[in-house]
Chains A and B, each alone.
Chain A
């Protein structure tokens, strides 16, 4: 066991030494990798921000609930409580018949004609902003609210909701595709960086192999090197991402106030913070494994060809 720990400790020390040996090269590599990781991480983060997508959607679907003309205050209060308790409802506005009439009177051309209406013909209305944007969820909410007592009608532009859902799906897919492309580019960069290290150590690999080192022993320091590069660049990317979100939110807060919506992005969650270094470390480990195995295979091939 101690021999195993000792061997790993040596490999770990060697990989740190490799990174430390060329500080500028290492720093550049880490920054390139971190930049490569920041964008897909940001896209993945954006994809999970439902409220942000809601806010940036210009034509958000909403439901309009009309109470019956003769609806009692108790029934209106009951609907109000139902809406307040419904998790699918993000916000709602209650408009009394008087308020509605006043609003209509302010519309040009309608003021004089509405003056002549003796009893107010408008019902109590609720304008509801749903949390979800999926048409199925909106229709379910519409049906649920229609069943409330003394509700005359719940209106929803189903076609518009479907159009918006399609657009958002397109946006999500595009974000996913871009994230995948950037991740792929990052993989190639890590592969190239580790391969370069392996190439530089070709003679060392050859000597180790000649003396009798197993493939596992030869590979071990390169695996640490790849993992270290991955973890460090992921931590750097996390820092960049947090700074980016902070900077964005500072601007978005002002705009959100002006547009009466919430355009700010949530900060990174703990699973996201843990996932990025873990996933990157795993990816870099895998790339280092392939790269070093390739180099060892080349030395073995030289042996087989009789050119060592």
Chain B
């Protein structure tokens, strides 16, 4: 599903953030990438999303070399992926349900179905009552939950989540993890998730990596 070949990314000459990363993520995997602040987790995920260009190496997503695609083609590809950003980016002039429904709109859905599915997604995360609120009227936890709802609404086959639990309290973090787990277990959902510390409670991860000094190192999976 995702293949990284000798992936390198540097923002300053002679000081690469990522150095020659090779990684292959199969379908239905749940990959956890942990690492300290500023180690390059977001950069790595942005490269997988096609939001950044690597300094060297290749990124393949669904067997397509992202470096060879136009910005528009990469955007089309992203429309089929569930993206959860580190910052809860929402469209400020749209209500919460309209924000959540936006990927469905891009997929050509409309009307009552659109609203119904957005409301269902919000209900699952306990935000049903806030559906009409504007992003400015929401707490950062609610915004983050809305981003999770938006990422899941199209029932994508791949979720790229950049520290999705960091802004959430333990109760909501469990809610999100349970939701991801149920979708993952239902089959067909691949998850690539970053976190500052590898959550030991997450037993579903099929692979764990640590990003340190630009290198990706596999970690042993905890035994339960």
**Chain A positions near chain B (C-beta within 8 angstroms):** 2-3, 5-7, 10, 14, 17-18, 21, 203-204, 207-215, 217, 300, 303-306, 308
Contact = CB atoms under 8 A, between A and B. Distances in A.
A210 B51 contact: yes
Contacts of B53: 303-306
A10 B46 CA distance: 29
Interface in B96-114: 102-103, 105-106, 108-111
A17 to B, nearest CB: 6
Contact of A214 (B72, B80, B91, B102): B72
A304 B71 contact: yes
Interface residues of B, number: 36
A63 B181 CA distance: 98
Interface of B: 9, 11, 46, 49-55, 71-72, 74-81, 83, 85, 89-93, 102-103, 105-106, 108-111, 150
A213 B90 contact: no
Given A211-B78, A306-B11, A306-B55, A300 B71 contact: yes
A204 B109 contact: no
B103 to A, nearest CB: 6
Q: Which of A17, A208, A213, A304 has the most CB of B within 10 A?
A: A213
Given A2-B110, A3-B108, A306-B9, A211 B52 contact: no
A303 B51 contact: yes
Contacts of A2: 110-111
Contacts of A303: 50-53, 71, 74
B75 A308 contact: no
Contacts of A308: 46, 51-52
B105 A7 contact: yes
Contacts of A3: 108-110
A306 B12 CA distance: 12
Contact of A207 (B72, B81, B91, B109): B91
A215 B49 contact: no
A211 B51 contact: no
A3 B81 CA distance: 21
A195 B78 CA distance: 27
Nearest to B51: A308
A305 B54 CA distance: 9
Contacts of A14: 93
Given A207-B91, A211-B150, 9 more contacts: A18-B93, A208-B91, A212-B75, A212-B81, A214-B75, A303-B51, A303-B52, A304-B71, A308-B52
A211 B46 contact: no
A281 to B, nearest CB: 23
Contacts of A217: 106
B42 to A, nearest CB: 11
